[in-house]
Amino acid sequence: MRFKTIFTALLAALLVTSLAAPAAMAAPDFNENASAAQNPYIETDVTVSNFDRAEMEPGQYEDDSGEIATLPGSVDQSQDVDDIGSGTVNPYHFVATDVDFSDAAAFPHASENVSAVHNESKWTVDESGSAGSMTVSDSSTAPGVEALEVSTSSQTDTDTATASFSDVSITSDAEKRYLQAMLDVNALDSGATVELRAVDSDGDYVATTINTSASASDDDVIATGTGGGYVIQEQVGALTTQGSGDGTMAAIEEVEVVVMDGDATVRLSALNADKTSEWSLGDERVDTDDQDDFETETVRDVSEPGAVHIYNLDTMGSTFDNAEINGLEMPMRFAASDLASDEQEVNVTFQAAESYPSFENRMEAYYRLELPAAYDLSYANATLKQDVTVPSSRFQTAEIAEGASDTEFSEIDGWTDVLGSIGSQGDTVTLDDTIQPGQEIGYHATVLVTDDEKSELQQIGGAGQFASSSGGGLISMILSPFGALAGAAGALLARVRGLI
């Protein structure tokens, strides 16, 4: 009788406690790699308008309140050599002349208060060989990136104008120095030539060239047309010595920008002639030998306009440790597996699957996906996609709702049926290609799963985002950690009441 009394009290306590417990329990994550997982995602190219390398990590940005925030997604980086041309093998894209870094304007390094890039007044113009005119002025290549603009007008095919910077005197190891520049070519007549020169005091010089008739593969060619983001870095001793001196570059006493045979406009965001090392813009993964593996090349020269593509921002040289990158672009995925455990964003439950002898459970998955809106963020090519992980016949429901706001899943109106978009197992399908920043997208799928798949989805033995509403019977509850806790509470209550 005493055992029956104790067991009766324990059962009563368990029943009272279980009635007070919620039907489902939220938890922080789920096994997105499970065979039956439904893990829709928004795939898009994200551009961060100002990325501070000293303060931010990839996927971070400055929100509208001025605080550093983290995007609820991940950079899409492929490890497959077959994807080299897709932009995901080298996912970080930026234009070199849109990078603000301290060394860009530090030349000449021996003069702290003089900058060839920032002090346009230190340049002199010689128009004696031109019927047109030349100007040297302050400009920019991106917000916050100062640049020196050299421009000519009304020049013919016999004219030459020269801008000279003479606040430099390098008298040792001149041939070991690098003639370096980052520049945009904003205008270039078809017959015009622009030369960037390092000049010795006796009239000798070496030059790198902008010319529409040149070959971009030549080491001394900066560019062959207009565009942004050109980078040239050539060792003085490796360039052909020209001019009226002794044929040897014993010193560098001037840097010149010479425009000949037509008009051109160039903007230099970085200039240097006294360093003995190059700037490293980062490492790019390539496949040069068709052996189906990656080789790595360090990006130092850019002879075609446009963005640099690198596979990891950490491969950029130390010169850029504190750089600010204007317009850092990267492909990202905003997946259900990246969401927080808030029930407003995630609600996944399991019910018994009746009339389906091959499946014990019916999974109801609700997600709320969004591209955060902010002044410093922009998106391109945003699409809602899904990898089909089970045969389409196991989908009972697949639907989405644009503009779901913060409405509870059960109260969302205007669901759009996308069941017809679910393809064969193994396919990646597009469910919506009209995604807008700040717009919350509701997703709902009902999928038949087995007990084994349910266990895999729940990550038995660890935290899981899924909760079962089908229970497991009283004995299962007693054997669970929750049941043990409830049993202890019941025993304590019984003791207090004098039952034990």
pLDDT at 406: 85
- How confident is residue 290, by pLDDT bands cut at 50, 70 and 90? confident
The answer to the question of residue 77 being in a domain is no
- How confident is residue 387, by pLDDT bands cut at 50, 70 and 90? very high
The dihedral built from the CA positions of residue 290, 292, 297 and 301, taken in this order, carries a sign that is positive
Q: Is residue 343 domain-shared with residue 222, that is, in the same domain?
A: no
- How confident is residue 30, by pLDDT bands cut at 50, 70 and 90? low
pLDDT for 370 beyond 90: yes
Choose one of 234, 255, 272: the last residue of a domain. 272
pLDDT at 3: 41
pLDDT for 460 beyond 50: no
Choose one of 272, 304, 323: the last residue of a domain. 272
Buried b (16+ CB within 10 A) or exposed e, 314-350: ebbbebbeebbbbbbbbbbbbbbbbbeeeeebbbbbb
All residues at 6 or more sequence positions from 498 whose CB lies less than 8 Å from its CB, including other chains: none
Q: Is residue 35 domain-shared with residue 11, that is, in the same domain?
A: no
pLDDT for 371 beyond 60: yes
Q: What is the pTM of this model?
A: 0.85
pLDDT at 470: 40
The answer to the question of residue 155 being in a domain is yes
Radius of gyration from C-alpha coordinates of the chain: 33
Q: Is residue 452 domain-shared with residue 487, that is, in the same domain?
A: no
Buried b (16+ CB within 10 A) or exposed e, 108-117: beeeeeebbb
Choose one of 246, 272, 298: the last residue of a domain. 272
Average confidence (pLDDT) over 253-281: 98
Cα 375 off chain centre by = 16
The answer to the question of residue 298 being in a domain is no
The rounded mean pLDDT for the chain is 87
Q: Is residue 443 domain-shared with residue 491, that is, in the same domain?
A: no
Helix (H) or strand (E) holding 77: none
pLDDT at 246: 95
pLDDT at 31: 78
The answer to the question of residue 320 being in a domain is no
Residue 116 belongs to domain with CATH number: 2.60.120.260
All residues at 6 or more sequence positions from 113 whose CB lies less than 8 Å from its CB, including other chains: none
Tell me: the pLDDT tens digits for 332-356?
999 998 987 677 888 889 999 988 9
Q: Is residue 451 domain-shared with residue 422, that is, in the same domain?
A: yes
Domain ranges, residue 343 = 24-47+333-475
Tell me: the pLDDT tens digits for 118-150?
999 999 999 999 999 999 999 999 999 999 999
pLDDT at 458: 84
Tell me: the pLDDT tens digits for 173-216?
999 999 999 999 999 999 999 999 999 999 999 999 999 999 99
The answer to the question of residue 327 being in a domain is no
Q: Is residue 437 domain-shared with residue 480, that is, in the same domain?
A: no
Tell me: the pLDDT tens digits for 413-439?
899 999 999 999 999 999 999 999 999
What's the total number of domains in the chain?
3
Amino acid, res. 264: A
Average confidence (pLDDT) over 58-68: 97
Distance CA 343, CA 465 (A): 10
